[in-house]
């Protein structure tokens, strides 16, 4: 039996979001369970967003008696630092992340909060989402569908072995996420090489547990100007992957993975709350990428190293499988 309901706060970030802002703001207060507080951090908008926020906050304070805190940056921080600022300012047991251009289903706070209230071991919960276009039209596919979860991903998710998934890829989209404030004891400050949502998910999975719900609780707008966004078709996903290859060549990619995993390992060691199995898995992942970075540029030796690494299942467990092998073979 739950002794009390946990308080729920929203951390929202904006930056020139006036076009879609009204619909999102309405959805935050049309909930079956209202938030106890809202913090919005604006990253120096110059399109009327700040004026909209100011008028809305005054109205909400009066009509709903919900405390609304508005923060405005003198210079732009970028997505992750701006979210960190908003999150730090939320005074609530559960923190919900909100983007400026989406729309929340009316039962979102209720469903996600109830999951956290009913399972003490769950630090972070996230859900599926409807994908909509810039006009709010349903694109006919859900977020989880376009993430293209592999058979291994689904099996690990069913077994709640999320840290094994996160050592390879991220499944958590911030706009669908809520987490216990206690997670911040481990997660803050956010490191430079990580996006806020994937960092929170990795920290939660290494410490306790994550819950992934099939409920579609967000209308996740795709409009070509998303700060993150998702490829909505296999062709778009292929184009996205090609852009990634060009933007981050193999050696830079491997160095980035090593830096990111190292930052996570150091934080877990510093705070001392991670499970032994998570630390062991993280060490294996770091060694996988370090070995790949040390592969010879000579083809015969490199092929031998790739085959040797494939026999350890490192490519399957920590990288893109065959695509990772091909990247090492062709030095892409």
**Three-state SS across 82-121?**
HHHHHHHCCCCCEEEEECCCCEECCCHHHHHHHHHHHCCC
pLDDT score, position 36 = 98
Span 285-306, pLDDT tens digits: 999 999 999 999 999 999 999 9
Span 41-89, pLDDT tens digits: 999 999 999 999 999 999 999 999 999 999 999 999 999 999 999 999 9
Span 313-323, pLDDT tens digits: 999 999 989 99
Mean pLDDT of 175-199: 98
Hey, which residues does 122 pair with through a beta bridge? Answer: 209
φ, ψ (nearest 5 deg) of residue 278? -70, -40
Respond yes or no on whether the N-terminal peptide bond of residue 189 is cis (omega within 30° of 0). Answer: yes
Q: Identify the residue whose tokens are 């009913």.
A: 118
φ, ψ (nearest 5 deg) of residue 23? -65, -40
pLDDT score, position 1 = 41
Lowest pLDDT segment from 209-213, 247-251, 259-263, 308-312? 247-251
Find all residues with CB under 8 Å of 5, minimum gap 6, and list them.
113, 117
Q: How many helices (H) and strands (E) does the chain have?
A: 15, 9
pTM of the model: 0.93
* Helical spans, DSSP H, in 147-226: 151-158, 162-166, 184-187, 196-207
Span 198-212, pLDDT tens digits: 999 999 999 999 999
Look at residues 156, 314, 332 and name the one whose alpha carbon lies nearest to residue 243: 332
Q: Identify the residue whose tokens are 């199995």.
A: 277
Alpha-carbon span 179 to 138, nearest angstrom = 27
Mean pLDDT of 111-138: 97
The distance from CA 4 to its chain's CA centroid, rounded to whole angstroms, is: 28
Mean pLDDT of 2-27: 92
Q: Identify the residue whose tokens are 């904006």.
A: 14
CB 196 within 8 A of CB 190: yes
The CATH number of domain 8-232, selected from 3.90.1170.50, 3.90.550.10, 3.20.20.10, 2.40.30.60: 3.90.550.10
């Amino acid at each position: 039996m739950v002794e009390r309901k946990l308080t729920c706060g929203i951390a929202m970030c904006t930056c020139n979001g006036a076009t879609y802002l009204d619909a999102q703001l309405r959805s935050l207060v049309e909930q079956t369970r209202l938030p106890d507080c809202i913090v919005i951090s604006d990253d120096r908008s110059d399109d009327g967003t700040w004026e909209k926020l100011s008028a809305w906050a005054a109205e909400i304070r009066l009509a709903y008696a919900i405390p609304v805190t508005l923060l405005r940056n003198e210079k732009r921080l970028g997505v992750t630092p701006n979210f960190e600022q908003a999150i730090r300012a939320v005074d609530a047991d559960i923190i919900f992340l909100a983007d400026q251009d989406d729309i929340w289903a009316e039962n979102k706070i209720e469903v996600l909060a109830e999951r956290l209230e009913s399972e003490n071991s769950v630090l972070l919960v996230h859900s599926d989402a409807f994908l909509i276009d810039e006009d709010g039209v349903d694109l006919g596919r859900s977020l989880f569908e376009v993430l293209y979860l592999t058979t291994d991903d689904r099996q690990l998710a069913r077994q709640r072995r999320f840290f094994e998934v996160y050592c390879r890829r991220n499944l958590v989209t911030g706009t669908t996420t809520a987490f216990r404030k206690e997670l911040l004891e481990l997660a803050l400050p956010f490191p430079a090489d990580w996006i806020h949502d994937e960092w929170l998910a990795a920290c939660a999975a290494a410490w306790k547990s994550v819950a992934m719900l099939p409920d579609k609780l967000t209308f996740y707008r795709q409009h070509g100007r998303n700060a993150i966004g998702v490829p909505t078709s296999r062709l778009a996903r292929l184009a996205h992957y090609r852009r990634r290859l060009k933007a981050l060549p193999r050696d830079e990619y491997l160095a980035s993975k090593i830096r990111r995993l190292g930052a996570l390992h150091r934080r877990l060691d510093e705070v001392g709350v991670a499970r032994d199995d998570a630390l062991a898995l993280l060490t294996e992942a770091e060694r996988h990428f370090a070995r790949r970075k040390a592969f010879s540029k000579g083809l015969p030796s490199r092929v031998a190293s790739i085959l040797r690494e494939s026999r350890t299942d490192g490519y399957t467990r920590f990288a893109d499988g065959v695509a990772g092998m091909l990247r090492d073979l062709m030095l892409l």
